[in-house]
Amino acid sequence: MKRLFLAVVALVLSVGAKAQVESHVRWAYAAKKTSPTEAVVLIKATIDPGWHIYSQTVKEGGPIKTSFTFAPSKEYVLVGKPVEPQPVIKYEKTFGMNVGYFENSVVFQQKIKLKSAKASAVKGKLEFMTCSDSRCLQPDEVEFSIPLGK
C-alpha cells in the first residue's frame, strides 16, 4: 500500500512539473520623469538565445504582435502610442509573410503626461508571442505596475 501511495505521489509531482509554463522572455519595468509634468515608461523584454518576440506592427494574418493595454487613470494620460526600435524584418514560411521581430532584448517606451504630482504608478498588461525557428509558444499576457517615483 505504501508503494502505491508513493507511486501516486510521484505521478502527481511529475504531472505538476510538466504543467509549468515554458517561458523564454523576462520583463522589466522602469519610469523616468522628463519634467514635472511628463514621464517615459520603459518596458524591457530580455529574450533567451534562439527565441524572439514580435513587433507591435505585425499585419493581420501573422503571429500575435506585442501589444500594450494601459489601465485608465485620473493621474496621467498617454501621449501617443508605445514606441519601439526598428525590428528585424524576415519572411516566415509559417505565416507566409514578412514579419518584424526582436531578439536578445528590446525596450518599448510610452510617454505619459502627469495630471497630478501624486501620480504613483502606471498599470496595465501586455500580450506577446514567443517563437524560435522551429516552434511558437502560446501567446502570453503579463500584468504590470510601474512605479513613477518622485
Element (H, E) at 130: strand 130-132
Of 78, 79, 84, give the one whose Cα is nearest residue 107: 84
Strands 76-83 and 140-147 come out as unpaired
pLDDT at 150: 61
Strands 97-103 and 88-92 come out as antiparallel
Query: What is the residue extent of each domain of the chain?
Result: 23-147
Whether residue 109 contacts residue 82, with contact meaning beta carbons closer than 8 Å, is answered with yes
Question: Cell match 520603459: residue?
Answer: 42
pLDDT at 9: 37
Of 68, 67, 70, give the one whose Cα is nearest residue 119: 70
The string of pLDDT tens digits covering residues 94-115 is 889 999 999 999 999 999 999 9
Q: From the first residue on, what is the mean pLDDT of each consecutive set of 10 residues in the chain (150 residues)?
A: 41 42 93 93 98 96 96 94 97 92 98 88 97 93 90
Q: pTM, whole model, 2 decimals? A: 0.84
| The CATH homologous superfamily of the domain defined by 23-147 | Thiol:disulfide interchange protein DsbD, N-terminal domain (2.60.40.1250)
pLDDT at 20: 55
pLDDT at 3: 46
pLDDT at 19: 46
The DSSP secondary structure of 31-50, one letter per residue, reads EEEEETTEEEEEEEEEE-TT
- Which cell goes with 88? 528585424
pLDDT at 13: 39
